[in-house]
Chain A
Amino acid sequence: MFIYALRKLTLLFVTMLLLTLLAFLLGHFAPGDPVYKLIGEQNLTPAQYQEVYNAYHLNRPLILQFFRFIGNAISGDLGISTASGEMVLDHLLRALPATAELVIYALVLAMVAGIPIGTLAALNSDTPLDRTILACCLIGTSIPTFWWALLIILLLSLTLGWLPLSGRISLLFEVEPRTNIMLLDLMLSDMGYRAAALRDALAHLFMPMVAVATIPMTQVIRTTRSTMVRLMREDFIKAARARGLGRWLILRHHALPNVMLPVSRDLSLQFGTLFTGAMIIENIFAWPGVGRYLVSSMQQQDYPALQGCLLMVGSIIVLLSVLSDLLHTAADPLTRKDLSDVG
């Protein structure tokens, strides 16, 4: 297990290095003047230009520039946005909680709704109910996220007029950003009309959350179903039944805990998809997260911000994947056994 962990961590290190290199090269090979790419279009005198040029070590060899870039990134200096003049890290620290909020709620929704539905399908396998659920899953997986989001908007917002379609909360409520996690900030704030504000925030959350949750939910349903169908034929279930335990009890104590592991492993493999999905959704719903920051930086050709987003999102996905892989390996007795058999 130790060696396995070491191997994974080495892989993590190499991946991060490559990611940093990619981010660095993106900035380096982007078209435009090297100085203005870093600080934005300004009217500089030749002397000022030279000063900035030297300050950013642009006169040194590329490899040294790269090391400097890594050093800065580690110390949290991701540069200054050329579009707004703000530190990229500051903006990212504001945007990340928003994205995290969306992704986490969507994950919870996927699990809370997906596992019961998957179980229902498994216990009624090969009945019309099961086939309907599977068909819905297939549609849910294959539908493009952005189109699905637009469909929900069309129905719930434009036709029925039930839900707002942009942002996290109505602008008439001014919530003091402390954690940048909207629901938490609302709980912490001492503003009047908090109940109304909370309702408004939930209304803003509903559609983006459903849109982000759809694909992982179909995955949860299918994994739950297939695992459950397989489990129900296993000897230990049969034994439990032979001992006269009720099915309800069997389901709760024997089957469901065994379903959780493959489901969460499947979900953790989907971090990348989940994040990219959320980033697309953010742009449709004007959700002020990393995805929106990334796209607006692209439109404004704000290279420091682009590099920052790439680096930040990339590292988070890589880190989470490795972490969940390690956790799953540690939590699953079967893989642990396999590992010790091999080495």
Chain B
Amino acid sequence: MIGTRLRMAKFSFRLRLRLAMLLLITTALLLVLYLLQGFRSQPLPYEGLIYCAEGSPESFNPQQALTGTTLDATSHQLYGRLLEMDDRGDLVPGLADSWQVSDDGRIITLTLRRGVAFHATRYFTPSRNFNADDVLFSFYRLLDPDHPYHWVGGGHYPFFQSTGLAELVTGLVKLDNYRVQFQLSRPDATFLANLATDYAVILSAEYGQQLLASRHPEQIDSMPIGTGPFLFRNYRQHTAIFYDRHDGYWQGPAALQRLVFDISPNASMRLAKLISGECDLIALPAASEFGLIRQHPQLALDISTGFNVGYLAFNTEHHPFDDRRVRQALSLAFDREKIIEAVFFGSASLASSILPPISWAHHDGLEPIARDLQQARQLLESAGLAAGFEFDLWVPPLQRVYNPNPHKVAEIIQADLRAIGVKARIVSPDWQTFARQLELGNHDAALIGWTADSADPDNFLSPLLSCRALTSGSNRAQWCNHQFDLWLQQALATTDRQQRQAYYFRLQELLADEQPIAVLAHGLKSIAYRKEISGIESHPYHALALGRASRN
């Protein structure tokens, strides 16, 4: 009897314990499952978009920008420009309704748009709409060293200083409230295109005066006011930027109520966050991950050729690269397709000319140079160097869109050149040394590249290969050819596009023959996003624009 009761008690205890445990575990599991499921279909509180950017902007004013990161974060989100560039690279009206160029090409009159409102934020309430005073304010800040804002933030305006805007523009006058006139020292075909670059934004003159009065002029670049689709709300250093919708945007308010830039420098982290849905859109996905993004059912990838070029520059002042035949031989001796496959993982297009194929001046008749060892050997022989030679190949320690792995490219070239008896010694110092020695012209050859600041073809040629660029620009081939310079000048003085194109074709043919540089590849501009996002504007002609983006 007692035995039975004990067993019963034991049984019921075990049972109760098990039941209790079962209950506990089931509840816990159910709770976890409920939460996890809930998160999966997380409803967003309002229409917002998170863009995971690769770095922090150095300023909120594109006029001072050095990097594409800054331009992506500011130019088209916060500001407007007088002219804009459409997706084919043609000029369209922006804050200027229309424009007239005088017959001699030296006077440009712009009629401004009416009813364009500036941002109203917690730190600034505009009392008037955009007018000619704002244009004068924005451009005199760049042009006039006596302007109260010129030296605010250091007085560096890299784009405008490198294009020589101050020498080009001799006057900027306000004709009336809605008409301004630029007076140029010489006709310049690139001027209008420069007005449409990401750098040439319009600031608020009223805000500038208010800041001067409150003695905080430096805030103009850190707490920005513009006319763009979004207005500045908050910035947490190296963490995130918060923008709100600008309800008074002249093209109609954006669909997104909030835009957040999540600063995540690590490329694989960005991709992981895109997959988990924490980013809607990511900058610069790693080329090696393109396959994965394409296969993922919820992700999309946009790739477009960028306005950039990676190349091998021969120092034409050093022997034996002063001989055209040697440069041609070397250019023929390495395999460009192998480089595209092994280094870019297909995220680049093979270059046939210094100008990328999307440029209207690109010469379609030129072919990418294919490896031809026999011809290379013959050329070397005719130059009297059949036994080969040695040279220093300088390699930068940085990754760029036109060259994601310079060292690997250098190794491939080194290996390929061995076949014609040429020995390349790879020199890869730190960045400062690299930049200084190249500027002094102490290199034999260097693997470098260029990202254009504007879509105009001149931006590839004048800064890189003109005689003037020997001293002031980045002519790392130390190459000065008078025929080349003459055609370059003539192309600039012509406003007729067909005539200009003819000059650029001749220039490209000359380059293909002279080979001061051996072009390698044009890096592709890539952006990955979740499929529910539409309306992202990321094309080669300008920085990222999210004003028309929306969530479906």
Contact = CB atoms under 8 A, between A and B. Distances in A.
A13 to B, nearest CB: 38
Contact of B278 (A123, A165, A192): A165
A274 to B, nearest CB: 22
Nearest to A203: B39
A246 B9 contact: yes
Given A164-B278, A196-B42, A172 B50 contact: yes
Contacts of A246: 9, 13
B272 interface: yes
B17 interface: yes
Given A171-B240, A248-B16, A196 B43 contact: yes
A71 interface: no
A314 interface: no
Given A162-B39, A247-B9, A172 B260 contact: yes
Given A172-B44, A200-B42, A247 B260 contact: no
Interface string A240-269: 000000111001000000000000000000
Interface string A66-89: 000000000000000000100000
Interface in A167-207: 167, 170-174, 192-193, 196-197, 199-200, 202-203, 206
A286 B35 CA distance: 21
B277 A164 contact: yes
Contact of B276 (A84, A165, A192): A165
Q: How large is the interface on A (under 10, 10 to 19, 20 to 34, 35 or more residues)?
A: 35 or more
Nearest to B48: A172
Nearest to B275: A158
Contact of A120 (B21, B36, B262): B21
Given A171-B260, A172-B260, A246-B9, A161 B275 contact: yes
A157 interface: yes
B39 A200 contact: yes
Contacts, number: 93
Nearest to B21: A120
A174 B242 contact: yes
A326 interface: no
Given A84-B237, A199-B42, A170 B50 contact: yes
A158 B289 CA distance: 14
B106 interface: no
A166 B269 contact: yes
Interface residues of B, number: 38
Given A158-B272, A158-B275, A172-B258, A192 B45 contact: yes
Contacts of A200: 39, 42
B17 A163 contact: no
Contact of B45 (A84, A161, A197): A197
A123 B39 contact: no
Contacts of A135: none
Contacts of B24: 116
Contacts of A172: 44-46, 48, 50, 258, 260
B436 interface: no
B110 to A, nearest CB: 39
A164 B39 CA distance: 9
A228 interface: no
A306 B269 CA distance: 25
Contacts of A165: 272-273, 276, 278
A157 B50 contact: no
Nearest to A200: B42
B291 interface: no
Contacts of B45: 172-173, 192-193, 196-197
Given A170-B50, A206-B35, A247-B13, A162 B40 contact: yes
Nearest to B16: A248
A14 interface: no
B88 interface: no
A156 interface: yes
B272 A153 contact: yes
B273 A166 contact: yes
A249 to B, nearest CB: 9
Contacts of B365: none
Interface string B6-20: 000110010011000
Interface in B30-66: 35-40, 42-46, 48, 50
Interface in B209-244: 234, 237-240, 242
A162 B36 contact: yes
Contacts of A203: 35-36, 39, 42
Contact of A163 (B39, B46, B262): B39
Contacts of A206: 35-36
Contacts of B40: 161-162
A202 B42 CA distance: 12
Interface in A278-298: 286, 288
A163 to B, nearest CB: 6
A161 B36 CA distance: 10
B211 to A, nearest CB: 22
Nearest to B276: A157
A166 B274 CA distance: 11
Nearest to A120: B21
A153 B264 CA distance: 17
10 contacts: A158-B272, A161-B277, A162-B37, A166-B273, A171-B240, A171-B262, A203-B35, A203-B39, A246-B13, A286-B264
Closest 6 CB pairs of A and B: A193-B45, A247-B13, A203-B39, A172-B48, A171-B260, A157-B276
Interface of A: 84, 113, 116, 120, 123, 153, 156-158, 161-167, 170-174, 192-193, 196-197, 199-200, 202-203, 206, 246-248, 251, 286, 288
Given A206-B36, A286-B269, 15 more contacts: A84-B238, A123-B17, A156-B36, A165-B273, A166-B273, A167-B278, A173-B45, A174-B242, A196-B43, A196-B44, A199-B38, A199-B39, A199-B42, A248-B13, A286-B264
